[in-house]
Amino acid sequence: MDEGRTFRNGLDFWSIDISLGLVVNMDQLLSELEHAALEAFQISADRHHSESIYCAALYTSGEYGYVYDTISTQEGLNRVAEHYLRKGSFDNFEKAVHDLKWSPCDSPYHLENEHLFEKCNQLLREIWGSLRKQPERDSDSVYRDVHSVFVKVLKKVRSSNIFPSDCLITLLAGDQSNEVRVVNSEEINSQAVCHAFASELMLNNDRLAKLRANRWPSDDSYEP
C-alpha cells in the first residue's frame, strides 16, 4: 500500500499532510460536506416548500476546486424566463424555459446557502494546494476520490427524502457537457428520473455510451 494512503467507506483516499502537522483527508471532506449539504438542502426545501423543486445539486468547477448548493424550481424558472424575455434575450417564453431549465447559475436559488460550505471549500483548497507541492502524487486519482465524495454525499441527500422522488439530485458544473450530466445523474437517481432528465437534453449517443463504458479513461479526455 502507498505511504499515506487510507481506504475507508469503500473509497481510496489520500491523507495529505499540511502545515502545523494537520492532516487533511477525504474522510474529513466527506463528513463536512455531508453535514453542509443536508443542512443546506433542508433549509431550501423548507423555505421553498410552496414551489415545485425539480433539481437539487452540488455545484462545482471542472477542476473540483469548490463546491456549493443549488436548487431549481418551476416557479423560479418561470420568473427568470420572464425576466430574460423582457430583456429581449429570447423570442418566446417556451424557448426561454427550455434553454434555462438546466442552467443552475440562472436559478434564483443558486448558491442560496453558500456560507455553509466554507469549511468544505477550505478542505478542498488544502487538498489541491498540498497536491501541487507534491507533484509525484497522482492528481487524476485524487480527482476521482473527490468525485466519489461528491457522489456519496448526493446519495445521502437522495436517501434522506428531503426532496420528492421525482426531483433530480445530481452533480453540476459550470462547463459541463450534457452527456456528463446524464452520467453523473445515473450514479445517484432512479432509472425513471434519469430517463426523464435525459429526454430533455440534446445528446450525442456515441459519446454517452463511451462515457458510460469508461467514465475515467487514462488520458486527459474525461470531463467532470
Paired residues of 170 in beta bridges: 57
Count up the domains in the chain and report the number: 1
On whether residue 97 sits in a domain, the answer given is yes
On whether residue 219 sits in a domain, the answer given is no
On whether residue 177 sits in a domain, the answer given is yes
What's phi and psi for 166, nearest 5 deg? Answer: -90, 5
Given a cut of 50, whether residue 4 has pLDDT beyond it is: no
On whether residue 218 sits in a domain, the answer given is no
What's phi and psi for 89, nearest 5 deg? Answer: -75, -20
Q: List pLDDT tens digits, range 97-124.
A: 999 999 999 999 999 999 999 999 999 9
On whether residue 160 sits in a domain, the answer given is yes
On whether residue 220 sits in a domain, the answer given is no
On whether residue 201 sits in a domain, the answer given is yes
Domain of residue 175, residue span: 5-213
Listed in sequence order, the residues at least 6 apart from 214 whose beta carbon sits closer than 8 Å to its beta carbon are none
Distance CA 41, CA 133 (A): 35
Q: List pLDDT tens digits, range 148-171.
A: 999 999 999 999 999 999 999 999
On whether residue 222 sits in a domain, the answer given is no
User: Cβ(43)–Cβ(68) under 8 Å?
Assistant: no
